[in-house]
Amino acid sequence: MKMKLYLSLTSPFARKVRILVQELGLSDLVNEVLVDPYNAPEDFLDANPLSKVPVLVTEKGEKLPDSQLIAEYLLTRGRGLAPMPRGGQRWALLRRLQLADGIMSAAVSSRREKLRPPELLNQGWVDRKTAAMNRALDALNAEAAELLHDGPVRMVEISLGCALGYLDFRHPQLQWRQDRERLASWYFSFAQRPSMQSTQPPAGA
Ligand SMILES: N[C@@H](CCC(=O)N[C@@H](CS)C(=O)NCC(=O)O)C(=O)O
């Protein structure tokens, strides 16, 4: 029996895990199961009562919700990522990972808000999330020289690649590349990886 990865093709959190599976050479061990968390089947709710994708169910039946937890687990199963630096460099890298995950969360939250009927839209909330994304993007642009783009990479690059891909997909009006040439150039190169190319969100979804 294979591991089961519940996902949606539009979720940037699920994309993170799909890319990690490929980068770790674990694709043959994982069956992808498409679900809509807003129209959730029972087996998915049993795997994650919170009704969020992604969720991984291991061969032993262990149920692992949340992309970060799944990443932690998969890193015990495969090799292929670049090693984490030590000392102060490690904390700087983990901070960048938090910023990348935070951009993703803010972008998903803002997208959900914008899907509400116009009379219920909380523009103040959208503006707050947009400001947070812009500040975090500026910080990452300033540190773009620290990011890897070819050869083995780390979770920070995978997460950031998915966050920026999601901005292109759902928030093109943000024009995140503007005045962020270093980040844009890093993404251009990172996005060529086969794992990024094969997990692009479906156009028009
Ligand atoms: N912290 C979670 C976030 C997952 C998440 O928010 N997934 C969204 C799709 S992008 C979802 O399933 N939302 C359904 C809901 O919030 O009810 C992770 O890292 O996996």
Q: What is the spatial distance between Cα 75 and Cα 79, in angstroms, rounded to a whole number?
A: 7
Locate the domains of the chain by residue range: 3-74, 88-193
pLDDT for position 78: 96
Judge if the beta carbon of residue 66 lies within 6 A of ligand 1: yes
* CATH class for the domain made up of 88-193: mainly alpha
Judge if the beta carbon of residue 52 lies within 6 A of ligand 1: yes
Judge if the beta carbon of residue 170 lies within 6 A of ligand 1: no
Contact 53, 5 (CB under 8 A): no
CA end-to-end distance (rounded Å), the chain: 31
How far does the centroid of ligand 1 lie from the alpha carbon of residue 198, in Å? 21
Q: What mean pLDDT is predicted for residues 20-39?
A: 98
Judge if the beta carbon of residue 166 lies within 6 A of ligand 1: no
Q: Is the peptide bond before 118 cis (omega within 30 degrees of 0)?
A: no
The residue with tokens 């770790």 is 24
Check if 3-74 and 88-193 are the same fold: no
pLDDT band of residue 157 (cuts 50, 70, 90) is very high
Question: pLDDT of 56-102, one tens digit each?
Answer: 999 999 999 999 999 999 999 999 999 999 999 999 999 999 999 99
How far does the centroid of ligand 1 lie from the alpha carbon of residue 152, in Å? 27
Counting from 1 in the atom list of ligand 1, the atom nearest the Cα of 70 is: 20
CATH ID of 3-74, from 3.40.930.10, 1.10.760.10, 3.40.30.10, 3.30.450.20 = 3.40.30.10
Ligand 1: residue of 5, 53, 162 to mutate (most ligand atoms within 8 A of CB) is 53
Of 63, 67, 72, 78, residue with least CA distance to 29: 78
Q: What mean pLDDT is predicted for residues 35-48?
A: 97
pLDDT for position 204: 87
